[in-house]
Amino acid sequence: MKRIGLLFWVAALLTVPRLLSAAPKDVKLPPYQEYTLENGLKIFIVETREVPLVTMRLLIPAGSAQDISGREGIANLTANTLMKGAAGLGAEEISEAIEGVGGSLQVGSGRDATYVNGSFMARDFSRGLDFLAKVVIKPDFPEEEFTREKGIVKAELLSVKEEPSALASREFVRRLLGEHPYRNPVDGYPGSVESITRDDLVRFHRDFYRPRGSVLAIVGDIKAGKVLPQVKKKLGSWKDGGTDVSSPGRVTAVQFPGRKLVVIDKPDATQSQIRIGNIGVSRKTPDHFPLLVANNILGGGFTSRLMNEIRVNRGLSYTARSRMQRYLQGGYFSVLTFTKNETLRETIDVALAELDRIRTEKVGTEELEGAKMYLSGLFPFDLETNDDLAEWFTDLSFYGLDKDVVEKYRSEIDKITSEDVQRVANKYFHAGDNFILVLTNYQETAGQLEGLGPVEVITVDEVR
């Protein structure tokens, strides 16, 4: 049927009336109360009335970046075992008390922090807080529970090798981040988890689970005046340890001059996974807003350049996106896509061309304004639920961000120019010195990969 040439397409876009022609108004955080307990714990309380629920989110500066080298996975295993015995209560007593009222309490770890997320009917707030305090302050780490959790993590790590996408992403990050602890997967490696003992968990908890540096947000259908005394009572007794947490140090620049290519050879793969990237920037950066816009243009929504060129125009993949993964001390930039083995090289080349183009050509007004409207328009959806708000309040505090990151989001996005985009693209979206990781059936695709840079081929079993 009808074909629309590029010129027509651009013209059509120009005639589209913009609904929100002026910059949309900034979005405010809801009213909140902020406290700091004597032991250093920061607390945010937000009253909302939409649904009879309450969310609690506690962030503790006890992430996998604090793991001991060779025993990676301690933070994760500590978090997994936390709910399995505390204050003399057994694992089943704890889970039944929480699930019995339809509540949930989840503990997990990331690179920078361990989180405890609670969701309860508002009427069960006290019970939820009580158990949150018990598992965080007084975990027992029963030997039997520790052994069981360790067995589960080890088996899960084996099953990662069955999942091409997860396997490719883990190995990509491990090789990209040099010697920095961020390179390690939060759940560790089969060998490192094997060497973890119960004492490691006890020590990790003693050293890193501390109120100072931790932040708790309580958001929901509660009254701050009623909640605060309970929080003081339950968490005021959380003792602050003496030693200071050591920083894992900044992520330092890694260069891959002329590119480096690692291939994970999976002979039964009919589809190849592709990761391209380099190191990035930390959560707190003056480039925050320009990066949001630049990344959205390159590989954000359904209309990003990567999606348009790889998926829409060529039908090469189901997904193509770019991402700035940002932690406290730095991060990385990555392009993620996949395609059938026959079109591996074509897809890599298209992705590399887009990385080059956003650095060398200034982005046009329509595209820039569209990306800005997209980000601004969707922002209220990021603040819709109690869980969303709890995450914002804990993150703002934990990462030391100004609340303007939220409250000036739209006006800051509105200020971004095509020069800003080009500047951060050149700073963070590397072109000639990228690290590329491919998971593929190498026998089938080796010929395609010639000329991309030095190649190192490993088998799935050789992935750490």
| Positions 89 through 128 that interact with another protein (CB under 8 A) | 91-92, 95-97, 99-104, 119-121, 123-124, 127
The one segment of 37-45, 195-203, 227-235, 385-393 that binds another protein by CB under 8 A? 385-393
C-alpha dist (Å) from residue 279 to 66, 177, 209, 379: 20, 7, 29, 27
Interface size with another protein, residues (CB under 8 A): 87
CB of 385 to another protein, least distance (A): 5
Of 105 and 352, nearer to another protein (C-beta) is: 105
Residue 315 CA to residue 385 CA, distance in Å, equals: 36
- Amino acid present at 330: G
When binding is defined by CB under 8 A, the residue of 74, 231, 373, 421 that contacts another protein is: 373
- Please identify, among the stretches 323-331, 372-380, 391-399, 423-431, the one whose residues bind another protein according to the rule CB under 8 A: 372-380
**Contact track, another protein, 390-429, x by CB under 8 A:** ----------------------------------------
Q: Which residues in 315-354 contact another protein (CB under 8 A)? A: 315-318, 338-340
In this complex, which beta carbon is closest to another protein, that of residue 224 or of residue 460?
A: 460
Q: Which of 286, 381, 447, 450 is in the footprint of another protein by CB under 8 A? A: 381
- Which of 33, 282, 308, 411 forms a contact with another protein (CB under 8 A)? 308
Integer Cα distance of 194 and 48 in angstroms: 45
Q: Of the listed pieces 45-53, 108-116, 168-176, 223-231, which binds another protein according to CB under 8 A?
A: 45-53
Q: Which is nearer to another protein, 296 or 397 (CB)?
A: 296
Report the nearest approach of another protein to the CB of residue 255 (Å): 32
What is the distance between the alpha carbons of residues 311 and 320, in angstroms, rounded to a whole number? 7
Contact residue for another protein among 36, 237, 270, 365 (CB under 8 A): 270
CB atoms within 10 A of CB 226: 11
Q: 333 has which bridge partners? A: 278, 324
Which of the residues 186 through 225 are near another protein (CB under 8 A)?
A: none
Binding residues among 51-90 for another protein as defined by CB under 8 A: 51-53, 83
**Residues of this chain, 150-169, that bind another protein according to CB under 8 A:** 151-152, 155-156, 158-159, 161-165
